[in-house]
Amino acid sequence: MSKLADDKRRDFEQEALVHLDALFGLALRLTGGDEPRAQDLVQDAVLKAFRSWDNFERGTNCRAWLMTILRNTFINEFRKHKARPVPVEYDLLADRPSSADLFVADPSGELFDRMIDGDIVRAVQDLPEAFRIPIILSDLQGLSYQEVADLMDIPVGTVKSRLFRARKRLQQALYEYGVEMGYVR
């Protein structure tokens, strides 16, 4: 290995690989907890990042740069498979009950403060893909509706309605979990 190539690898390991746990966390959420798929996703994204490491502007946010590469890698895969019928789409038609029960039982939303981060992240992970991706891109990654629409190649109106329903489903799931755990009656 040339010294130049070795320096690049060392530099990349020091600057980029420190964000590996964050990348893996995001990959797990995006894939709905599918660990092998999440590992493949991180691997693809990290190799892409390494190949374009010379273009990365030092001093800018490396974690955000890596997250963007991982997100785009996932979305490209998602788009490739979008044309084929996905059973989860049918799930969109038969929505679960609203989270109105939670607002009635706990109007100030204290339940949310009692939940630990892991409960919430797991509940996101368990959402069907069509709901999970918008909520991850918008709420976990901070993208605008337009950015989510562009990435997922769906209209902004669809992003709004999916986000709305995803959040209500999430509240419903947290409510059910809260009842089970005795956080709410």
Partner 1 sequence: MRPWPWRRRGSRAQTGPVPDAFSCAECLEVLYEFLDGELDSAERPRVKAHLDSCAECFRHLNFEQRFLDQLRSAAAHDDVRSEGLRLRLLELLEREAF
From residue 27 to residue 46, the character string flagging contacts with partner 1 as x (rule: CB under 8 A) and all else as - is -xx---------x--xx--x
**Which parts of 63-122 interact with partner 1 (CB under 8 A)?**
103, 107-109, 112-113, 115, 117-118, 120-121
Can you tell me the distance from the alpha carbon of 150 to that of 158, in angstroms, rounded to the nearest whole number?
A: 11
Distance of CA 21 to the CA centre of its chain: 14
Q: 74, 141 in Cβ contact below 8 A?
A: no
Hey, how many other C-beta atoms are within 10 angstroms of the C-beta on 46? 20
Please spell the DSSP secondary structure of 23-58, one letter per residue.
HHHHHHHHTTS-HHHHHHHHHHHHHHHHHTGGGS-T
Asked if 26 touches partner 1 (CB under 8 A), the answer is yes
CB of 5 to partner 1, least distance (A): 4
Can you tell me the distance from the alpha carbon of 162 to that of 130, in angstroms, rounded to the nearest whole number?
A: 7
From residue 149 to residue 178, the character string flagging contacts with partner 1 as x (rule: CB under 8 A) and all else as - is -----------x--xx--x--xx-------
Can you tell me the distance from the alpha carbon of 113 to that of 49, in angstroms, rounded to the nearest whole number?
A: 37
State which residue, 123 or 130, has the beta carbon closest to partner 1.
123
Binding residues (CB under 8 A) for partner 1: these are: 1, 5-6, 8-9, 12-13, 17, 20-22, 24-26, 28-29, 39, 42-43, 46-47, 50-51, 103, 107-109, 112-113, 115, 117-118, 120-121, 124, 135, 138-140, 142, 144-145, 160, 163-164, 167, 170-171
